Amino acid sequence: MIRKQILILLGVLSAAAICLFAARHALGGHDPAAVATADRLALAWRWLLVPGLCLLAGIAAVANQRFLRADDIDGGAAKGPGFMDITLRYNTNTLEQTALAAIAWTGPSLTLAPQNLSLIPTLAVLFGVGRAAFWGGYLFAPWARAFGLGLTAYPSFFALIWLAFRLFR
C-alpha cells in the first residue's frame, strides 16, 4: 500500500507543480483594455467546450462498447472491472469536474483583470490534458489516475477557494 501512496503523492505533486507553472505563465499578460461582462462570460463558456468534449468522449466510448458487446448491449452497470467500468467511472468524475469547472471558471472570468483573462484558456487546457491523463492512467492502474485528477481538479479547487475569499473579504 505504501508504494501506491507514494506513486499517488508523486502524481498529485507533479500535477500541482504544473498547475502553478501554467497559472503563473497565464497571469500578467499585456492587454490592459477593458473587457465587457458579456465578453468575459462568453470567454468562460466558450472554453467550457473542452470539458464538454471530454465528457462526450467518455459517453461515446460507453455507447460504442454497449453497441459492440453482447454482454453490455442491454445497459446497466458494468459486468466487472475493465474498460466499461473504468469509463463509466471516468464519466461520473468528468461530470463532477465539469460542474465544478463551470462555476470555477465563470467567477474569475468576471473578476480577473483584463490582462489575466488568459488564465481561462489555460484552465481549459489543464482540464483536457488532465482528463486524458486520468482516463489513461485509470486504464493502466487505479493509482495512476492521480496525476490527471490533480491537473483537472486543482485549478477548479483553487479558483473556488479564491472566489470564496473574495466574497468574504
pLDDT digit string (tens) for the chain, length 169 residues: 888 898 888 898 999 889 888 888 777 665 656 788 899 999 999 999 999 999 999 999 999 988 887 677 777 777 777 899 999 999 999 999 999 999 999 999 998 888 889 999 999 999 999 999 999 999 999 889 999 999 999 999 999 999 999 888 8
Q: Is residue 18 part of a domain?
A: no
Q: Is residue 157 part of a domain?
A: yes
Q: Is residue 2 part of a domain?
A: no
Q: How many domains does the chain have?
A: 1
Q: Is residue 151 part of a domain?
A: yes
Range of the domain at 102: 36-168
Q: Is residue 12 part of a domain?
A: no
Burial of 15 (0-12, 13-18, 19+ CB in 10 A): buried
Q: Position of cell 490534458? A: 129
CATH number at residue 82: 1.20.120.550
Q: Is residue 156 part of a domain?
A: yes
